[in-house]
C-alpha cells in the first residue's frame, strides 16, 4: 500500500521526511526553551490552511490566544483572519496560575478558578478532547497542534496518570484522522520530554536543539523516529527567519554525542 502523506510546507523539512508526515499520525515535537517549537507547530497549521486547504486547530496551554496572534504577525501570519474565515480554531485552555508561599518557598500552582472555556474546575484531558471533537466537526479540521503536553501533565504526580492522559489524547486524534503535532518541553538536550514516556506513545519524534558553536548558537533538528516511513537520520541545521522556519537538508550538524 502507498503511504498517504501530509506535507508540512516547512521549507526543507519534507525532503528529510521523504515527502511529509504520514497522514493521520501524532508526532511529538520536543526541545528546550527557545528552540522554536511553538513557531514550528503554528507554521505547520498555517501552511496547511494557506497552501493545502487543510483547516487546523491549535490547543494552547501556554500562552493566551491574544499573545499568539500578536507574536505570529512578525512572520506575516494573520491568524485572526483565518479564525474569522472558520479555517482555524484556537482553543485557549491555558491554566490560570497563582503564586503561593509554602514551606518558605515561592511556588506556582494550577488554580481551581473559573476558566472561560473549561469552567469551574481544574482543566483535564476529557474536557479538552471534547472541545477538539466539537471544533473538528465545525471546521472540518485536518491538522492539530497541542502546545503543550508538559503543561497538561504537570498536574499529575504519578506516571500512570501521565501515560493515561497521553494515550487518551493520541487515541482521540487517531480516531479523528487528524494529523497532529504534540509539543513537549525537554529539560536538557539529552532528554526527550520531561516525563520519559512521551516518545514511546507518539508515532513520530522530532527533536529541536540549540547548540553553541564558538561564540554563537545554532539551531538543529533530529528526526528520531517516524513509524512506517524512511527518514533522514542526520542532525540538520534550521533557522528562524522573518518568514518562519527554514530547514537546510544539505547542512548537517555534528554534535558532541555523535
- State the average pLDDT for the chain: 82
DSSP track, 41-74 = HHHHHHHHHHHH---EEEEESSS-HHHHHHHHGG
Is 209's pLDDT higher than 70?
yes
Is 248's pLDDT higher than 80?
yes
Is 255's pLDDT higher than 80?
no
115: confidence class by pLDDT, cuts 50, 70, 90: very low
Q: Which of 166, 172, 175, 174 is nearest to 129 (CA)?
A: 172
Task: Identify whether the C-beta of residue 187 lies closer than 8 Å to the C-beta of residue 171.
Answer: no
Structure pTM? Answer: 0.84
Which letter does DSSP use for residue 19 in this model?
Answer: S
Q: Looking at residue 177, what is its pLDDT? A: 87
Structural domains of the chain, ranges and CATH numbers in brackets: 23-252 (3.40.50.300)
Q: Looking at residue 92, what is its pLDDT? A: 87
Is 58's pLDDT higher than 80?
yes
Average pLDDT over residues 244-255: 88
pLDDT above 70 covers a percentage of the chain that reads 78
247: confidence class by pLDDT, cuts 50, 70, 90: very high
Q: Looking at residue 149, what is its pLDDT? A: 82
Is the model more confident about 76 or about 1? Answer: 76
Q: Which of 132-136, 190-194, 230-234 bottoms out in mean pLDDT, i.e. has the lowest? A: 190-194
Rounded CA separation 229/18 (Å)? 8
Q: Which of 120, 122, 42, 128 is nearest to 91 (CA)?
A: 128
Q: Looking at residue 41, what is its pLDDT? A: 98
Q: Looking at residue 120, what is its pLDDT? A: 44
> Tens digit of pLDDT for each residue in 23-51?
999 999 999 889 999 999 999 999 999 99
Average pLDDT over residues 174-191: 81
Q: Which of 22-26, 85-89, 93-97 bottoms out in mean pLDDT, i.e. has the lowest? A: 93-97
Q: Looking at residue 214, what is its pLDDT? A: 78
Q: Looking at residue 18, what is its pLDDT? A: 92
Average pLDDT over residues 145-149: 89
Amino acid at each position: 500500500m502507498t503511504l498517504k502523506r501530509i506535507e508540512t510546507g516547512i521549507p526543507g523539512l519534507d525532503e528529510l521526511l521523504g515527502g511529509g508526515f504520514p497522514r493521520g499520525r501524532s508526532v511529538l515535537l520536543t526541545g528546550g526553551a527557545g528552540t522554536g517549537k511553538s513557531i514550528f507547530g503554528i507554521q505547520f497549521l498555517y501552511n496547511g490552511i494557506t497552501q493545502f486547504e487543510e483547516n487546523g486547530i491549535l490547543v494552547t496551554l501556554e500562552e493566551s490566544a491574544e499573545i499568539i496572534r500578536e507574536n505570529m504577525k512578525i512572520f506575516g501570519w494573520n491568524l485572526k483572519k483565518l479564525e474569522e474565515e472558520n479555517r482555524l480554531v484556537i482553543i485557549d485552555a491555558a491554566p490560570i496560575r497563582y503564586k503561593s508561599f509554602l514551606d518558605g518557598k515561592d511556588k506556582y500552582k494550577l488554580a481551581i478558578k473559573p476558566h472561560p472555556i473549561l469552567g469551574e474546575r481544574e482543566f483535564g484531558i476529557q474536557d479538552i478532547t471534547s472541545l477538539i471533537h466539537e471544533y473538528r466537526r465545525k471546521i472540518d479540521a485536518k491538522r492539530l497542534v497541542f502546545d503543550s503536553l508538559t503543561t497538561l501533565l504537570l498536574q499529575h504526580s504519578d506516571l500512570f496518570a501521565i501515560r493515561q492522559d497521553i494515550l487518551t489524547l493520541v487515541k482521540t486524534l487517531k480516531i479523528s484522522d487528524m494529523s497532529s503535532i504534540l509539543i513537549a518541553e525537554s529539560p536538557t538536550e539529552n532528554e526527550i520530554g520531561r516525563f520519559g514516556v512521551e516518545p514511546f506513545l507518539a508515532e513520530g519524534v522530532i527533536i529541536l536543539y540549540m547548540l553553541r558553536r564558538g561564540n554563537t548558537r545554532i539551531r538543529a533538528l533530529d528526526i528520531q523516529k517516524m513509524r512506517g516511513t524512511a527518514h533522514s537520520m542526520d542532525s540538520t541545521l534550521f533557522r528562524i527567519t522573518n518568514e518562519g522556519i527554514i530547514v537546510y537538508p544539505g547542512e548537517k550538524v555534528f554534535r558532541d554525542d555523535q
